[in-house]
Amino acid sequence: MVREKLFITREHIIPEAIKFLAEHHDVEVWKERTAPPRDLLIQKAGECAGLLTEITDLVDKELLDQASTLRVVANRAVGMDNIDIPEATRHGVLVANTPGVLHESCADFAFGLMLSLARNIAYGDRQIRAGEWKMFDQIPYVGTDVHEATLGIIGMGLIGTAVARRATAFNMKIIYNSRTRKPEVEESLGAEWRPDMDSIFKEADYVSLHMPLTADTEYMVSSRELDLMKPTAFLINTTRGRTVDPKALYTAVSGGTIAGAAIDVTDPEPIGIDDPLLTLPNVLISPHIASASTATMRKMGQMAADNIMAALEGKPMPSCVNPKAAG
């Protein structure tokens, strides 16, 4: 096997995958916790046969035009909005993601956000740490039940289905809208199909977003959709920040159009410390960590490494998104 040059844009996340790749290829690793500078990433793409990237590493036409030796990009994520797939295909660069290994962890987290928001768990913790719990008084912390409520899922892929499966344990009514109808989910979990998203926003007590970020879904949730929701309803977003208009979200929550929101993703990301969303006690924000469990991160790293190995050996990749790039 010919030893190829590889560039990996993070070290601390996937040490086992790095060790595996280094046994077969010449691996260079960016050792900082922050993303590599743009000019360095472009330089390395022009020197290497493979890149192992994170979702903050932009692989676009500018980079690909200067990457004459690049053969494969393995993204340690399911979402691919940081990579120009058509442009990579035109350049003959194979692109892979890491599906099928993070959906259970993401579903755990989405449900955790829902519970924490509805029952004021994070809010109560903040109040205690601020010295505001001075007597037994439940009134400031009265929450909303999750059990037997209506859960609306937009995007019934692997993550959405895993969230729905958890909802059955809470005896929730499950309604959903997705690009394709899922009869098997309806049969196994009792989920009810809605042909339009408006119905989800109107009916649900909790709306959980699980669609990918595309040109069609960018800022898909705006003031129009939020205005359809019940004033007692909550929005949960663990997909991508740019699927929701942040100004519209602030207006909806601060004005009482909806009861609150829990978001693992923001626009921009990271969110600025002066962002008005941070002033709202009924908005719960986490730093894009839904998939960040030890076991899941290890699996994602290994799948990314396996994709690179297969591409460089001319073998079928575990999860290639543009096989036409192989010619």
Q: Given this chain, do its domains 5-101+294-326 and 103-285 carry the same CATH topology?
A: yes
288 catalytic? Reply is yes
Q: Catalytic residue, from 24, 240, 242, 313: name it.
A: 240
240 catalytic? Reply is yes
Q: Where are the domains of the chain?
A: 5-101+294-326, 103-285
pTM: 0.93
Q: Which fold has domain 103-285?
A: Rossmann fold (3.40.50)
pLDDT in tens, the chain (327 residues): 799 999 999 988 889 999 999 999 999 999 999 999 999 999 999 999 999 999 999 999 999 999 999 999 999 999 999 999 999 999 999 999 999 999 999 999 999 999 999 999 999 999 999 999 999 999 999 999 999 999 999 999 999 999 999 999 999 999 999 999 999 999 999 999 999 999 999 999 999 999 999 999 999 999 999 999 999 999 999 999 999 999 999 999 999 999 999 999 999 999 999 999 999 999 999 999 999 999 999 999 999 999 999 999 999 999 999 999 997
Q: Residue 296, Cα to own-chain centre: how many angstroms?
A: 13
269 catalytic? Reply is yes
Q: Catalytic residue, from 166, 194, 210, 288: name it.
A: 288
Q: Catalytic residue, from 11, 16, 47, 269: name it.
A: 269
The CATH code of the domain at 5-101+294-326 is 3.40.50.720
